[in-house]
Structure 1
């Protein structure tokens, strides 16, 4: 039987997975194509801002609540769908 991670570990894992999956380091010219569905640059900026905010909070020993982890996960899931429509993630 595996033990569920605590909220801090779960948030750190989510942040690590999103940072590894989303193209944050791709040049702007490769993100903004001729035709965009939504604005992938703005979507990435929104997620990056949220991730940086949580990284800062975690560094200051703020413990996230389950609802906050769920909310960030939902945001990332929706942004990923937009990035996929634009061919930026698989």
Structure 2
């Protein structure tokens, strides 16, 4: 059985993250009241990484480590968003 192409898996991961996390929230929406971790900073970091990979996937082949890093960042972001009431 052939291994999946890492670039294809990265594209699928990017799509999944964009569908599952509310990356469209503005600073005004995110920054109200008390927070347990900064949702705004996490979304910014994750959005930067997503933009980077979307722009460079045709030029640069991601590694398995790149996939793992993006997955970890998305999971950490989701955890903070959930803790702050933005995800169920």
**TM-score of the superposed pair, with normalisation by structure 2:** 0.88
Structure 1: state its 5+ residue gaps: none
Provide, for residues 36-90 of structure 1, a one-character-per-residue CA deviation record: whole Å limited to 9, x for no partner: 1111111100000011111111133x11111110111011111111111001112
Does residue 65 of structure 2 align to residue 73 of structure 1? no
Partner residue of 1:5?
A: 4
RMSD over equivalenced CA pairs, Å: 1.6
Cα 1:63–1:84 change in 2 (3 A) is same
**TM-score of the superposed pair, with normalisation by structure 1:** 0.87
**Offset at 1:4?**
4.6
Q: What are the equivalent positions in structure 2 for 1:5-84 lying under 5 Å apart? A: 5-60=4-59, 62-84=60-82
Does structure 2 conserve the Cα–Cα contact (< 8 Å) formed by 1:80 and 1:89?
yes
